[in-house]
């Protein structure tokens, strides 16, 4: 069995110029925007008291994003906000002037016209972009990497998008989307990975994810938890991880929680960068085949990378078995705790946390992080069973690949 690999962050700090992207005032505006959607409701923060006791922890909280906008994943938060910010920019408005009722109005459509939003995805981000485009009367084109499932393709097509599965990996699909957008009148790339020259829209997407972090923070306080001591967060290109890390660094500047970033080991570009240790961006190529399809990205978001290397405590590269274990443990937790339907990418951080607490070979990491009976750990289950057949194969039948 492949081991979980980890490295403590010792990278040199930068001037932290990207941390203000996730400033508290900005994220409150984002949440107000999402609250204007008729589909909006706060997703649950599940408190796993019995699991926490079993693992030797004080408290364990899991934010369950399978309830987000009826789309079974959190990604729509980023795509919808970025599209609204783009439309606001093009029409000379502030996004606060464009709640859902205005965005979907005939008047705004006449003023803005119609754009085609291009993106690459393993499923969740593309579905969110397609859904938002559909609701706003816009067009969308989605490229999916080799190994994507027909179920996830069909979910995107059902939202009116033009969608294809390509014979290449995710990062190459991103380049295809950017190239196609450049050749299309009113074509716009809505991608959650940033590169030099393409950073504005990814920053907006990261801000969109802030709604989830702000909700979770408010829910923790309702539970009587003043702040988490640890946050475990998954990463593909790192946009979500950078958003969550950025939010908590801004929220608790004097006493931030320890953040642990969890990647699929086959695509662990952030872990690889932390291991090199000089702050440089590292890439991972190849087909990147893993059950954690949402994390199968080998080229980091430049904005997020800057936030992560300044603030993250530890980077972890997780094998597929850790994600599968997390899925099963959340689906059938300790008696008395509510079960959580968590997909492959959603459950990876919990699987890593459980392994750290249950397996002696990770005692050094457990001790480094100071995980014990006083720890209050926050995790984000970013997706439900977005591919129900694959979910059942892993959870019911014990398959891991």
CATH for 76-197, options being 3.40.50.720, 3.60.110.10, 3.40.50.1100, 3.30.420.40: 3.40.50.1100
Tens-place pLDDT, residues 359-368: 999 999 999 9
For residues 192 and 111, give the distance between their C-alpha atoms in angstroms, rounded to a whole number.
Answer: 27
Q: Which letter, b or e, does each residue of 69-85 get, where b requires 16 or more Cβ atoms within 10 Å of its Cβ?
A: bebbbbbbbbbbbbbbb
Q: Say whether 399 is catalytic.
A: no
Q: What percent of the chain has pLDDT over 70?
A: 100
> Taking Cα atoms as reference points, which of 361, 57, 382 lies closest to residue 209?
382
Question: Token digits for 21?
Answer: 């992207």
Question: Token digits for 214?
Answer: 């702000």
Question: Of the listed 64, 122, 265, 306, which one is catalytic?
Answer: 122
Does pTM surpass 0.85? yes
Question: Of the listed 75, 85, 135, 139, which one is catalytic?
Answer: 75
For residues 150 and 139, give the distance between their C-alpha atoms in angstroms, rounded to a whole number.
Answer: 21
pLDDT band at 104 (very low <50, low <70, confident <90, very high): very high
- pLDDT, position 308: 98
Alpha-carbon torsion angle 324, 394, 169, 125, nearest 10 = -80
Could you say which DSSP state residue 290 is in? -
Expressed in angstroms, the distance from the first to the final Cα of the chain is: 13
Pairing of strands 59-64, 45-47: antiparallel
Helix/strand/coil percent split, the chain, to 5: 50, 15, 35
What is the CATH number assigned to the segment(s) 5-74+202-395?
3.40.50.1100
Alpha-carbon torsion angle 38, 44, 45, 48, nearest 10 = 180
pLDDT tops 90 at residue 91: yes
For residues 126 and 148, give the distance between their C-alpha atoms in angstroms, rounded to a whole number.
Answer: 12
Mean pLDDT of the chain: 97
Continuous segment of H or E residues that includes residue 73: none
For residues 78 and 157, give the distance between their C-alpha atoms in angstroms, rounded to a whole number.
Answer: 19
> Taking Cα atoms as reference points, which of 146, 68, 140, 136 lies closest to residue 102?
136
Burial (Cβ within 10 Å: 0-12, 13-18, ≥19) of residue 102: middle
Tens-place pLDDT, residues 219-270: 999 999 999 999 999 999 999 999 999 999 999 999 999 999 999 999 999 9
pLDDT band at 400 (very low <50, low <70, confident <90, very high): confident
pLDDT tops 90 at residue 124: yes
Contact (CB, 8 A) for 101 and 122: no
Q: Say whether 75 is catalytic.
A: yes
Tens-place pLDDT, residues 288-312: 999 999 999 999 999 999 999 999 9
Number of residues that make up the chain:
401
Cα 299 from chain centre: 15
Continuous segment of H or E residues that includes residue 78: helix 76-90
Residues of the chain with CATH 3.40.50.1100: 5-74+202-395, 76-197
> Taking Cα atoms as reference points, which of 40, 37, 26 lies closest to residue 99?
37
For residues 23 and 61, give the distance between their C-alpha atoms in angstroms, rounded to a whole number.
Answer: 23
Tens-place pLDDT, residues 150-200: 999 999 999 999 999 999 999 999 999 999 999 999 999 999 999 999 999
Question: Token digits for 231?
Answer: 């946050």
Plot region of 56 (φ>0 → left; ψ -120 to 50 → alpha; else → beta): left
């Amino acid at each position: 069995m492949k081991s979980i690999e980890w490295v403590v962050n010792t990278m040199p700090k930068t001037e932290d110029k990207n941390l203000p992207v996730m400033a508290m005032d900005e994220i409150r505006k984002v949440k107000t925007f999402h609250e204007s959607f008729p589909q909006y409701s706060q997703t649950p923060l599940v408190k796993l008291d019995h699991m926490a006791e079993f693992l030797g922890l004080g408290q364990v909280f899991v934010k369950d994003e399978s309830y987000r906008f009826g789309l079974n994943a959190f990604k729509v938060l980023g795509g919808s906000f970025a599209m609204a910010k783009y439309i606001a920019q093009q029409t000379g408005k502030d996004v606060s002037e464009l709640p859902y009722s205005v965005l979907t109005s005939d008047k705004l459509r006449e003023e803005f016209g119609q754009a085609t939003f291009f993106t690459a995805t393993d499923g969740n981000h593309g579905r969110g972009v397609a859904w938002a485009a559909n609701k706003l009367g816009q067009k969308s084109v989605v490229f999916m990497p080799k190994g994507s499932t027909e179920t996830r393709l069909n979910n995107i097509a059902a939202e009116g998008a033009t969608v294809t599965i390509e014979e290449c990996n995710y990062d190459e699909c991103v380049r295809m989307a950017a190239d196609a957008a450049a050749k299309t009148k009113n074509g716009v790339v809505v991608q959650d990975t940033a590169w030099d020259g393409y950073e504005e829209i990814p920053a907006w997407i990261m801000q969109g994810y802030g709604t989830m972090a702000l909700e979770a923070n408010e829910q923790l306080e309702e539970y009587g938890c003043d702040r988490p001591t640890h946050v475990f967060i998954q990463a593909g290109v790192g946009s979500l991880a950078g958003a969550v890390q950025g939010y908590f660094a801004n929220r608790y500047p004097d006493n931030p929680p320890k953040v642990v970033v969890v990647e699929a080991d086959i695509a662990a570009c952030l872990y690889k960068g932390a291991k090199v240790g000089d702050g440089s961006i590292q890439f991972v190529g190849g087909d990147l085949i893993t059950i954690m399809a949402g994390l199968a990205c080998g080229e980091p978001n430049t904005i997020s990378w800057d936030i992560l290397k300044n603030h993250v405590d530890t980077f972890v590269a997780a094998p597929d078995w850790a994600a599968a274990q997390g899925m099963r443990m959340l689906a059938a937790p300790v008696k008395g705790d509510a079960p959580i339907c968590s997909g492959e990418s959603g459950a990876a951080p919990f699987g890593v946390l459980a392994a750290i607490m249950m397996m002696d070979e990770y005692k050094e990491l457990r001790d480094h992080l100071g995980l014990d009976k006083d720890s209050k750990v926050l995790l984000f289950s970013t997706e439900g069973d977005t591919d129900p057949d694959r979910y059942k194969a892993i959870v019911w039948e014990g398959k891991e690949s």
